[in-house]
């Protein structure tokens, strides 16, 4: 029987963020986050980790088809690109002028606009 551990991990990327891949066959490639899965700690990045999906024959595709689609990648392998400088940066959280908690780039100190 598989044990599941309940953890509240903070996710440093959000939908619409531009990220760079840190590990794997797509290392040093950049893309935009399309979807984030907080429970599995994974994200889908546009054009990265493409897999082939075989479709059965149907009325639309009488011969069937092979469709390419992006597969989720672990969030620990992603690093946010600073929107101002374009450099990879770690992400922190601090209060802005309005008193709201907001993400900021640790390399430059600039706030990251929420999507």
Torsion of Cα atoms, 44 then 46 then 50 then 53, to 10°? 80
Return the residue matching tokens 């309005």. 98
SS3 letters for 67-94? EEEECCEEHHHEEEECCCCCCECCEEEE
**Per-residue confidence in pLDDT tens, the chain, 115 aa:** 666 666 677 888 999 999 999 999 999 999 999 999 998 899 999 989 899 999 999 998 899 999 999 999 999 999 999 988 889 999 999 998 888 889 999 998 889 886 4
Predicted local distance difference test score (pLDDT) of residue 9 = 75
- Tell me how far apart the alpha carbons of residues 57 and 75 are, in angstroms, rounded to a whole number: 35
Domain ranges in the chain? 18-105
- Tell me how far apart the alpha carbons of residues 29 and 49 are, in angstroms, rounded to a whole number: 11
pTM, two decimal places: 0.79
Predicted local distance difference test score (pLDDT) of residue 6 = 64
CATH architecture of 18-105: Roll (2.30)
Predicted local distance difference test score (pLDDT) of residue 74 = 93
Measured in Å, how far apart are the chain's first and last C-alpha atoms?
Answer: 40
Predicted local distance difference test score (pLDDT) of residue 1 = 66
Burial class (CB in 10 A: 0-12, 13-18, 19+), 5: exposed
Three-class DSSP category at 107: coil
């Amino acid at each position: 029987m598989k044990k599941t551990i309940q953890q509240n991990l903070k996710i440093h990327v959000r939908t619409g963020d531009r990220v760079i891949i840190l590990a794997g066959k797509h290392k040093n490639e950049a893309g935009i986050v399309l979807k984030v899965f907080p429970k599995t700690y994974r994200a889908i990045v546009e054009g990265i980790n493409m897999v082939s999906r075989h479709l059965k024959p149907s009325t639309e595709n009488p011969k069937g088809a092979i469709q390419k689609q992006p597969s989720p990648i672990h969030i620990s392998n992603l690093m946010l690109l600073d929107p101002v400088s374009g450099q990879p940066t770690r992400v922190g959280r601090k209060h802005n002028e309005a008193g709201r908690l907001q993400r900021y780039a640790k390399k430059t100190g600039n706030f990251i606009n929420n999507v």
